Structure 1
Amino acid sequence: MPAYKRVLLKLSGEALMGDDAFGINRATIEGMVNDIAEIVKLGVQVAVVIGGGNIFRGVAGGAAGMDRATA
């Protein structure tokens, strides 16, 4: 029996990059989805919140000539 019935999982935009320098890495996402699916199979309700601040700042900062790492 799981310790929790419901969990909220907050993922940072940076976590979605995997080993890539920027953007969203498909293999990383697939791994996360598989892990979450295993939790759901245990009967746990999972809500996922994805932070987009790093992605948004990287795009906006890059357009303004700012390095992505400091955006």
Structure 2
Amino acid sequence: MHANNREILNLISKCREMRDVSKKTKLLEYINQMLPTESRIRLPSLITGDGIDNLLSWIEVKISPPIYGLATP
């Protein structure tokens, strides 16, 4: 995993702990700018805390390395 991905995952964790939607939105925008251009999300102008958490989960899945051995035969 790249250092940039680890930093993004740490920021995602911090963002999830925040309660202020305005601050969460700003951090999500920052995280989005750190992503490669092809992976960036087009963020809506109005978004809820739950919407931010859903987008954070999507980003987390996209940048996390695959986990092998979880599929059942």
The answer to whether the superposition gives a TM-score over 0.5 is no
> When the two structures are superposed, what TM-score results if normalisation uses the length of structure 1?
0.33
- Give the number of the structure whose residues are more often helix, by fraction: 2
Q: Given the two structures, how large is their TM-score scaled by the length of structure 2? A: 0.32
Q: Which has the larger radius of gyration?
A: 1
Higher strand share: 1
